[in-house]
Amino acid sequence: MASNVYKSAAQVTVFSTIEKTLSFAYRIILSRLIGAEGIGIYQICLSVFSVFLTAASSGIPVTVSRMIAKQSATGSAAGKHAVVTAGVVSTLMFTVPAAIIIFFGRNLLAFLFPDKESLNIFILLLPGLILTSVYAVMRGTFWGNKQFMPYSLIELAEDSVMVILGTVLVFSATSPTDGAYRATAAALISYIFSFLVSVGWYLMHGGKFVNPKSQLRPLLASAMPITAMRTSTSLLNSVVATFLPALLIGACGYDSSEALALYGAVTGMSLPVLMIPNSLIGSIAVVVAPEMSEHYYAGRGDRLKRDIEKTIKAAVFIAALLIPALFTLGGDIGIMLFGNAFSGEVITKFAFMLLPLCISMITTTALNSMNCEVKTLIYFFIGALFMLVCIFALTPIAGIYSYMIGLAGSYVITAALNLHLLRKKCPDAAYFKHLAASAAICVFGSLFGLLLRRLTAELTPVLKVIICGGAVTAFTLTAFWGLGMVSIEPVKKLFRRR
């Protein structure tokens, strides 16, 4: 069982990494073919679409996965089918009316777009709102049934369809707007593809659509807090994007271009680097969440305790491995990747944010697997409120750093509250000593990195990243291994025959 978990986590991580690399390459292709203006129109349309999609179905996959795991624990195949049908019905209840209202009331959204043509491009995506929300249910079905290979393949195939078709279509675009239209059409076709393949797979492998009445209310009650959290995150980012540059202009005396440059450096350069753990922990969460739910509802306390300990330790290990390297080399990374020294400065100063970030992410997954969605939503709002207070109170003093201080503080708050609740839900789980030891390793690893960086001060940023990054990572791994906090056994299990 443990071997399967390791293999599944590694598999999802590998496929996720390939997808992200493919998407990054596609952005480069689009930027060369349709330019900054075309990319801007395309990005605005996708951003608005993502808000509606988040509101429609972001809580559905996790909830369907957890509820299928619950039915697995009780051995009810009919219950699984009812859960899936309830997921499809609930998401269609929102997306179909929403798509109709948006289509006929499109002029009400005109203020979100630079011109009418951009609005029309967004309208092209509306069928995708319905299709992708159903595919979200299918994703949860794959997770709950532990079918990670078809899930990974469909995700990769969807991205591949969009990239290949988008490149072909955009190549003959006559203008930036025409290019954005063609890229959007490719995205819609990729949504149609994933919808057809996922539903087809579900039906061909024994899936059915049955009366969802018994599962509809529990699913909505569980999904709504998660959806509210993720929708609030999207809206919160929009609020910050609107008000923070204005605050920098009014409170700090920057002009418009300077304020936008600072905001862009932090959100478009520094944060993507600091959020590297997201995809890794997300892969772990996809695999272990159904396991935790199944153990929780089946009353297998010992197995649940083991899963909680292992996932928290894995998340902390990821953070501890990255923090010393980013703290040491943040400045060089900013220059090497973005040609921007300030973005590197932010990476260095807030590298330690990764520890509460990783703890917050994985503990939220664990608690949601134990039916604590409402409480994790409350904790999210507490952290979000702290961030907003920091932005408005500290911007006159700290400038753009007010946002990073607030963001780091919000992760500390949610991580602390999650750990407190998790201690109540599973009091026997032991991980606090591991957290303390990992924090100490981060400190000593960072000090070692600073010393090494001074010794290599004359090298180019690329060489410093390679040499110091490798040495600091080796130091951190050695410290974990020497203290008996990691083992090579999971690596062996990945290659061991079943």
pLDDT tens for the 498 residues of the chain, in order: 445 666 777 777 788 878 878 887 787 787 778 776 677 677 777 777 887 888 777 778 878 887 887 787 777 778 888 989 999 998 898 899 989 998 998 888 777 676 788 888 889 999 999 999 999 999 888 888 888 888 889 999 999 999 999 999 988 888 888 888 899 999 999 999 999 999 999 999 888 898 888 888 888 887 788 777 777 777 777 677 767 888 888 888 888 778 877 877 787 778 878 988 887 787 777 777 777 887 887 788 888 888 888 888 888 999 999 999 999 999 888 888 777 788 889 999 999 999 999 999 999 988 988 888 889 989 999 999 999 999 999 999 999 999 999 999 999 999 999 999 998 888 888 888 889 999 999 999 999 999 988 888 888 888 888 898 899 999 999 998 888 877 665 555 544 544
**Contact residues for 18 (Cβ-Cβ < 8 A; gap 6+):** 156
Query: 3-class secondary structure for 426-458?
Result: CCCCCCHHHHHHHHHHHHHHHHHHHHHHHHCCC
Q: How far apart are CA 108 and CA 105, in angstroms?
A: 6
Instruction: Return the pLDDT at 493.
Output: 52
Q: How far apart are CA 215 and CA 209, in angstroms?
A: 12
Place of tokens 């009445």: 213
Q: How far apart are CA 197 and CA 132, in angstroms?
A: 12
**Contact residues for 184 (Cβ-Cβ < 8 A; gap 6+):** 42, 45, 46, 121, 122, 124, 125
Q: How far apart are CA 214 and CA 387, in angstroms?
A: 40
CB-count burial class (<10 Å; 0-12, 13-18, 19+) for 383? buried
Instruction: Return the pLDDT at 465.
Output: 85
DSSP-derived letter for residue 106 is G
Structural tokens at position 55: 């509101």
Q: How far apart are CA 456 and CA 473, in angstroms?
A: 16
Instruction: Count the helix, strand and coil residues of the chain and give each as a percent rounded to the nearest 5.
Output: 90, 0, 10
Instruction: Return the pLDDT at 168.
Output: 92
Instruction: Return the pLDDT at 492.
Output: 54
DSSP-derived letter for residue 254 is -
Q: How far apart are CA 215 and CA 49, in angstroms?
A: 28
Instruction: Return the pLDDT at 25.
Output: 79
Angle between helices 354-369 and 432-455 (to 10 degrees): 150
Contact yes or no for 327/302 (Cβ under 8 A): no
Instruction: Return the pLDDT at 359.
Output: 93
Q: How far apart are CA 131 and CA 22, in angstroms?
A: 23
Structural tokens at position 156: 């990769």
Instruction: Return the pLDDT at 5.
Output: 62
